[in-house]
Chain A
């Protein structure tokens, strides 16, 4: 088996486990390494050892050191071992955010878009030609196999956005403190 086969298995398993790609079947994996001179059974055995490790490191957000410890008993070839570590290093952030999003059970914010308009209709003439922002929030929710998205649009004026930003800054400083405490 060459490095490219090992890499194929790793990236396909990540697609299967984290991106929920249903097309990654055992047959697909076996097909993918067909020129590796590994028997089909050998491929499955390898997959069976790699899967739980990939699940563990993603869901527990393990560090490089912890991953090293997990890989030790496998006694992988040196270059495979290094490749796994490097691969995890690259994928970690993305996988972390996938797992985090799995923890949002209801609606999550999947998009923000906005534009600024001049208000041209109002109950008071003095309000006309005031700039207002029109904001669209996309909220998504995982429903069984699909993702449902709804859009909420609202207008917001200078005063309102200023108040909002104050609240945002409050949240930001809370998060800062929280992160500092953790460290």
Chain B
């Protein structure tokens, strides 16, 4: 699903660019730089409130969601451009102008930063990361076996379905003993806590 190579636009891009067009040039340049820095893990994700107040100082009134969408669209554009090999400044600007309603001025700002930073952006390597489609489980107690007579112990069996980037769904099944399950549970709870906080 690519913008710069396949010219496919994500939903909401026009509205986001519309808001972006309202930014004063210098502030837009700062925002682009912040996004690019964040992509290089050099800085944290730009704060909506900060940019909202900067816009207000310039008598530009944009709501929280609108400002958020400008940040999102910049992340999207720079990340996507990074995926295309040898995308130069001219092409970057051309595609941007053809595919969105970006103004000349705003487009030039984005393209200039692209030209300057494109070598520094980390290469994207996310092979084979699928999406979790389904999670099934059962708990059983083994009360006898050929290996061990008395080891009465619960086992947790999990069946997960993952769809990969080609929309193919693969199902994997695995078993856990109680201590293994506890470790699994601990990890998932940690992830949950983190995602809640961010």
B1 x A167 contact (CB < 8 A): no
A155 x B132 contact (CB < 8 A): yes
Residues of B within 8 A of A103 (CB): 142, 145, 147-148, 151, 153, 155
Residues of B within 8 A of A116 (CB): 191, 194-195, 198
Partner of A158, one of B45, B139, B151, B195: B195
Task: Tell me, in angstroms, the Cα distance from A107 to B175 when the chains sit together.
Answer: 6
A125 x B195 contact (CB < 8 A): no
A101 touching B69 in the complex, CB below 8 Å, given contacts A124-B10, A167-B135: no
A129 x B68 contact (CB < 8 A): yes
Residues of B within 8 A of A161 (CB): 188, 191-192, 195
Which partner residue on chain A sits nearest B139 by CB separation?
A174
Q: Interface size of A by Cβ–Cβ distance < 8 Å?
A: 56
Residues of A within 8 A of B63 (CB): none
A59 x B148 contact (CB < 8 A): yes
Asked whether A69 is an interface residue with its Cβ less than 8 Å from the other chain, the reply is: no
Q: How far is the CB of A118 from chain B (nearest CB, A)?
A: 6
Residues of B within 8 A of A118 (CB): 45, 75
Which one of A102, A112, A121 has the greatest number of beta carbons of chain B within 10 Å? A121
A171 touching B71 in the complex, CB below 8 Å, given contacts A101-B177, A107-B172, A155-B130: no
Residues of A within 8 A of B191 (CB): 114, 116, 133, 135, 156, 161
Q: Interface size of B by Cβ–Cβ distance < 8 Å?
A: 65
Task: Tell me, in angstroms, the Cα distance from A169 to B185 when the chains sit together.
Answer: 8
- B residues with CB within 8 A of A: 1, 10-13, 15-16, 39, 45, 68-69, 71-73, 75-76, 79-80, 126, 128-132, 135, 137, 139, 141-142, 145, 147-156, 158, 160, 162, 172-181, 183-185, 187-189, 191-192, 194-196, 198
Q: List 21 A-B contacts (CB under 8 A).
A: A59-B150, A60-B149, A60-B150, A106-B175, A107-B173, A107-B174, A107-B175, A108-B174, A108-B176, A114-B187, A121-B1, A125-B69, A129-B71, A137-B160, A155-B132, A156-B131, A156-B191, A158-B196, A160-B132, A162-B192, A165-B192
Contacts A108-B176, A129-B68 aside, 18 further interface pairs with beta carbons under 8 A come to: A59-B151, A60-B150, A107-B173, A107-B175, A118-B45, A121-B79, A124-B10, A125-B10, A125-B11, A125-B16, A139-B172, A152-B162, A161-B191, A162-B192, A168-B188, A175-B139, A178-B141, A182-B152
